[in-house]
Amino acid sequence: MTAFRARFAPSPTGALHIGGVRTALYNYLLARQLGGTFILRIEDTDQTRYVPEAEGYIIEALRWCGIEPDEGPGIGGEYGPYRQSERKAMYGRYAEQLVASGNAYYAFDTSEALSAKRAAYETEKKTFRYDSSVRDDLDNSLAMDKAELHARLASGEAYTIRLKVPAHEIVKVQDLVRGEVQFNSDELDDKIMLKADGMPTYHLANVVDDRLMKISHVIRGEEWLPSTAHHVLLYRAFDWEDEMPQFAHLPLILKPNGKGKLSKRDGAKFGFPVFPLAWRGKTPEDAFDGFREFGFLPEAVNNFLAFLGWNPGTEQEIFSLEELISVFDSTKIQKAGARFDIDKAKWFNQQYIMATDNATLAASIRPLIKAKGHFPTDTFLEAFCGLMKERVTLIPDFWEKGYYFFEDIKKYEAKPVRKKWKPEMRPHFDNLVALLASIDTFDAETIETKTKAFIENNELRMGDILQIFRLAVSGTLKGPSIFDMAALLGKDEVLRRFEVAYARFDEMKSA
RNA sequence: GGCCCAUUCGUCUAGUGGUUAGGACGCCAGGUUUUCAUCCUGGAAACAGGGGUUCAAUUCCCCUAUGGGCUACCA
C-alpha cells in the first residue's frame, strides 16, 4: 500500500471560499488519520485571474483553522516547487510528449475563431464542441502535412495543444463517494492542455503534478466530476493509469435556499460570512468580513464544516479537530449537496464558547475590550467571561451584551423602568443601599444572603427589589445573576450606580 | 439544449426488505431562574411522484419530476 498523500490545490484568484476550507479540512483529516501527508499546491496557471494577495490569504486562513500543510509554498518539501507558475517549463514538455505519442495535437484556432464558431452553431440551436467529430475540419496539426506544421510552428504563430480524446469509448471513473461513474468519450471535448501563453490548463497541470507529487487521493469538489473523465484519459495517455490516484468528489455547499453553490454574494445578501477571514479586494464590493471577524472560533468552524456533507453516524456532534481526525470516515461522506445553515454554525460556536475556559476566553476578548479603551485586570476579565459565556453566541456579544461591566450604562431599558420603578419605594432602596454599604466581604453569596433577608424582613417582593437592583446596575433586565454582577463590579461602583440610576429612573418615569 | 450527480422533518442527517422512521439546529409549549441565557421535559415536523420486483418496500430496479454541477486558451 502506497503512502497516503492528499493535496489541497486552490487557485489564487481571491479569498478562499468556505467550501474550499471544507475541502482542505477533509483532505487534512484523512492525511492525519492515516499518517499521510497533506500538501498545499497553488494552482496559479491563469495569469488573467491571478491575485497576488490570495496565496497569503489562503495560507493564513488554513492556519487559523489549524490546518497546517506538511508541504507547500513557503513550507518546502521534496516535490516542490508548489506553485504551478514555477513549474511552467515542465508542463510544455509533458504536452509535447502527449503529441509525440499521438494523444494530443497542435491547434491553431484562435479563441476568436472558436467563439465565432460557437455563435454560428448557436443560431442553429446546436452546441459547438471541439471534439472527435469536428477536429478534422478545424485548424490543427491533424489536418495538415508535416511541412505546413513545421512552417507554422517555426513562424512563431500561437498555438495550443489539445488532448485527442478517443472516439466511441466508455470512460469509467471510480469515485470513493459515488462509486463508478461512466462517460461516453463522444461527449467529451478535446480539452486544451497547453494554452497559447505556454501555461498549462488545470487539467494538464493537475494530472502532471498529482503524478509528480505522488498524490494518492484526489479529494475535491463535485464540480470536478465531469472533467475527471478527461483526467482518466490523460493518465492513460501518459501510461500512468495503473498508478492513478483515488478520486473522491465532495458534495457542494449550497446557498441557504438550495438554489446553487454558496457564493460570496450570499454573504452580503444574508449577512453572514462565507469566508474564513476578512478579505479586502480592490473594490468596495470585493470586501468581506470572515468567520473570524464575525466572532466565530476556529474549532467551531471546523466542527460545523465537517458536518456539512458528512457525519459520524453516531449522535455525537461536538468534535475537536483531534477527535475528527480519529473518527472521520470517507465512506460516510454525503452524496447530495448540503445547504449552508448559519443558525447551526452559531449553535456550534455557542457550544464552543461555553466549553472554553475563562482564561482563554479572556485572552481572546481582550483586544476587543482594549479597542473600546478599557484595560481590566485578568482576574476581572476572566470572571466577566465566566458570567457571560452562557449568554453569547459570537465573540463580539461579550461586549454588546456586557459593556456595562467596563463603562457607564449607555441606556436604561425604558419599559421595565417605567413599569418597575416606583418613586415611593425609594426609602426601601435607600435602606438596601445602606445595607450593601455595610457589607465588608462584598461577594456574591453575602450580597445575596443579605439582600434576600432584607426583602423578607421588610415584607417586600423579590421581583420589585431585584429587578430594580438589576436595572440600576446594568440598565437591562437581561444578564447574569445580579449578585454576581454586583460582586464583580465592587461595592463602590454598585453604590455609585444606584445614585446615578435614581435620577435617571425619576426622569424616565415622568417622561 | 447535451452530459453527469443527487433526492428521509424547514435545515444538517441516522437508519432498515417487516422500525412507534432516530438525533441535532431552528420553531412552539412547560419546568428551573429575580431576569436573560444555560439546563431539563414535552410537541409539531420527513421517506418527491408513478410503475415494477417481493408475502412485504422508505430501503432493490425503471421512469418522471425537482434540484445541483459541468458544458472557456477559468479553475
Position A285 scores a pLDDT of: 86
In the structure, how far is the CA atom of residue A179 from the C1' atom of nucleotide B54, in angstroms? 26
Is the C-beta of residue A313 closer than 7 Å to nucleic acid chain B? yes
Which grid coordinates belong to A381?
A: 476579565
pLDDT at residue A511 is higher than 90: no
Question: What is the per-residue pLDDT for A510?
Answer: 79
* Mean pLDDT, chain A, whole residue set: 96
Q: Exposed, middle or buried, A211 (CB in 10 Å: 0-12/13-18/19+)?
A: middle
pLDDT in tens, A34-53: 999 999 999 999 999 999 99
Catalytic residue list of A: 264
- As given in the structure block, the three cell numbers for residue A172 are 469509467
Boundaries of every domain in chain A:
86-250, 356-392, 408-510
Whether the CB of A300 is less than 7 Å away from nucleic strand B comes out as no
Chain B bases closer than 7 A to any CB of the protein: 1-8, 10-15, 22-26, 33-38, 67-75
Residue A11 contacts strand B, CB under 7 A: yes
pLDDT for A1 equals 58
| Fold of the domain spanning A86-250 | Glutamyl-tRNA Synthetase; domain 3 (3.90.800)
Q: Which residue is nearest to nucleotide B14 (CA to C1')?
A: A313
Tell me which residues from 478 to 497 on chain A have a beta carbon below 7 angstroms from nucleic acid strand B. 478-483
pLDDT of residue A509: 78
| pLDDT tens-place string over residues A273-285 | 999 999 999 998 8
Percent of chain A at pLDDT exceeding 70? 100
What cell numbers appear for A413 in the block?
Answer: 431599558
Give me the CA A251–C1' B68 separation in Å, rounded.
10
Tell me what the mean pLDDT of segment A28-34 comes to: 98
pLDDT reported for residue A221? 97
Rounded to whole angstroms, how far apart are CA atoms A450 and A446?
6
Instruction: Write the DSSP symbol of residue A398.
Output: H
Residues 349-368, chain A, CB closer than 7 Å to nucleic strand B: 350, 354
E strand or H helix at A229: helix A225-237
Summarised one tens digit per residue, pLDDT across range A478-505 is 999 999 999 999 999 999 999 999 999 9
Determine the distance between A416 (CA) and B32 (C1') in angstroms: 23
Q: Specify the CATH number of the domain A408-510.
A: 1.10.10.350
Q: What is the tens place of the pLDDT at every residue in A158-212? A: 999 999 999 999 999 999 999 999 999 999 999 999 999 999 999 999 999 999 9
Q: Cell digits for A476?
A: 437591562
Kindly report, residue by residue over A80-126, the tens digit of the pLDDT.
Answer: 899 999 999 999 999 999 999 999 999 999 999 999 999 999 888 89
